[in-house]
Chain A
Amino acid sequence: MAIPQPTSAMQPVLRWLRLPRLGVGTGIAAAILAVIVLLTLLSPWIAPHDPLTMNPLARLKGPIEGHPLGTDNFGRDILSRVLIGGRLSLIIGIATAAIAVLIGLVIGVVAGFFRTADAIIMRMMDALMAIPSILLAIALVALNGPSVGSVIAAITIPEIPRVVRLVRAVVLAAREEPYVEAAIALGTSMPKILVRHLVPNTLAPLIVQGTYILASAILTEAILSFLGAGVSTETPTWGNIMAEGRLFFRIKPELILYPGLALSLCILSINLLGDAARDMLDPRLKKRAG
């Protein structure tokens, strides 16, 4: 009895079908992301220059000795800025994803479990969602000044309603699961059911959602910088490097190209990993495999 019996002839098919997804594309994506994360994490040690040291008399140079990717309009080393900038971009992305997921989880669980709070919370979330997120984010940055913290807050707040909706939906669905009803029958208290049975259900979709938020936060940071509501040029991010570089797009496209490439590759691989995670957790496949 130790080996489970296949319950359907289709099961081996589905089990097998998942393999290539986790293999080829996802593997490449994971590798790319790992390289980017590693490079940006190590950037303080591997960057050839201080990203802030400027030499305005040698500005907008192409690849020259000591500056393999050339210099920007302050004569700063592009390679170093892209490396260090990636770190902050990733930090903004990760912080946004983590905070949005955490806050959204708490609010969503409350909304999903307490009928009385639900209506009020969801109306507020509807209102928040109705405000276009970019406009809200610009307004928030304008409100707090363009520090890293306020940029994170500005990107996070519009993401929260989406997380809340997701968590609420999962909690509502999980409430109906027989094992939750069985737990009720076993005399498990509501808070305990919430924490031990319901919240774990939200984790998998939240991880997937988190990767998407992470990717879109990095992108949103770039757009905020582009619209003039990003973090200071003294703390380089991929976004503000590109935003500054856009004035020189036609004479020195590298200023957008390199950070853009790094950013796009990074987001691409995060999205691919998110997709892979989602496919693994796809209830449709799960249902058929079961």
Chain B
Amino acid sequence: MLGYILRRCLAVIPVMLLVAVFVFLLLRLTPGDPAAIIAGDMATPAQLERIREAMGLNQPLHIQFVTWVGRLLQGDLGVSLISNTPVSAMIADRVGPTFSIAILTIIISVVLAVPMGVLAAWKHRSGADYAVMTFSVLGFSVPVFVVGYLFILVFSLQLGWFPVQGYTPLAQGLGAFLSNAILPALTLSTIYVALIARMTRANMLEVLGEDYIRTARAKGAPERTVLFRHALRNAAVPILTVIGTGFALLIGGVVVTETVFNIPGIGRLTVDAILARDYPVIQAMILLTSFLYVLVNLLIDLSYSLFDPRIRY
């Protein structure tokens, strides 16, 4: 088990290195010039050149890459070209909201989607099944921002239940946090619920066709026991997997919801940085999100053995 964990962790290194190369090249080939952005409207070409020189943008690519990776390994993510703030500080300021909303989203999604999927599989081809399926297809079909605006319109402006925008840290109380976080989390949940409910349904259907389910029924187990004790745990691994791969989707959704609900998170930070060609921030953010993705999926892989004793490392 320990050996397996070690090997899996080592396997992260080449992947992250590839991500780093990829991100670095991608950005350096981008036509945007951060020097021009900093210099502003009145700059002359000579001034631009001086700024470029000062920022080290004139060095050969591979030198820039090596310098960057070397600093990365020392934990130095660099300094924002635009605001001159350390990138690590910018990220530290911003991960809180994104994380708390992402976690809330996952909680909401799992709490809603798993029972939905179980119900749909149990009542296969019934009205409930079609309702769940329709909802989950709808979740994939409506753009996140449209959902967000609809929620704002209905829950904030018409009903006045929640504030329209903003973020309150959990430190200021659960109620305050939730009142701000619940709409963005619900918005993000639509696609996640759709994903998990589908996966739950599909795997429950599969598991419910298995012999041991027939065995459980033959034992006289009531449906609740059949579904939750026997079936769900066996369907857990693919559901976990989809929660992991859906994490990428979540990050994509976060970018949008943070914009719609004006949440000071890392999604907006990244988009702003991309539009501003703030290389150190973009690089750090893409690396960070990729690393998170890899990490989350690694943890999920490792957690399989909690659900399925056949999986041992």
A106 lies within 8 A of chain B by Cβ? no
Instruction: Decide if A249 touches B29 in the complex (CB within 8 Å).
Output: no
Which among B140, B206, B209, B286 is the interface contact of A216 at CB below 8 angstroms?
A: B140
Considering only CB atoms, which chain B residue lies closest to A212 in the complex?
B140
A284 and B209 in contact, given A134-B252, A215-B140 (Cβ under 8 angstroms)? yes
CA distance in complex: A142, B27 (Å): 9
List chain A residues, Cβ under 8 A from B286. 131-132, 135-136, 139
Q: 0/1 per residue, A121-157, Cβ < 8 Å to B?
A: 0011011111111111011101101000000000000
Interface assignment of B64: CB less than 8 Å from any CB of chain A: no
Residues of B within 8 A of A134 (CB): 251-252, 255-256
A268 within 8 A of B: yes
> Which A residues from 260 to 290 make CB contacts under 8 A with B?
260, 263-265, 267-268, 271-272, 275, 284, 288
Instruction: Determine whether the beta carbon of A131 is less than 8 Å from that of B22.
Output: yes
A132, A223, A260: the one contacting B293 at CB < 8 Å is: A132
Main secondary structure of the interface of A (DSSP, over half): helix
* Residue among B274, B275, B291 with the highest chain A CB neighbour number at 10 A: B274
Proximity bits, A84-125, B CB within 8 Å = 1, else 0 = 000000000000000000000000000000000000000110
Question: In angstroms, how far is the closest chain B Cβ from the Cβ of A239?
Answer: 8
Give the size range of B's interface with the partner: 35 or more
Given known A130-B293, A133-B248, contact A142–B141 (CB-CB < 8 A): no
Contacting pair B15 A127 (CB below 8 A)? yes
A27 at the interface (CB under 8 A from B): no
B206 touches A284 (CB 8 A): yes
Query: Is the CB–CB distance between A264 and B141 below 8 Å?
Result: yes
Q: Is residue A227 contacting chain B, with contact meaning CB distance below 8 A?
A: yes
CB atoms of A219 and B143 under 8 A apart: yes
Task: Find chain B residues with CB under 8 A from A288 CB.
Answer: 209
- A residues bordering B, Cβ < 8 Å? 20, 25, 123-124, 126-136, 138-140, 142-143, 145, 215-216, 219, 222-223, 226-229, 239, 242, 246, 249-250, 256, 260, 263-265, 267-268, 271-272, 275, 284, 288
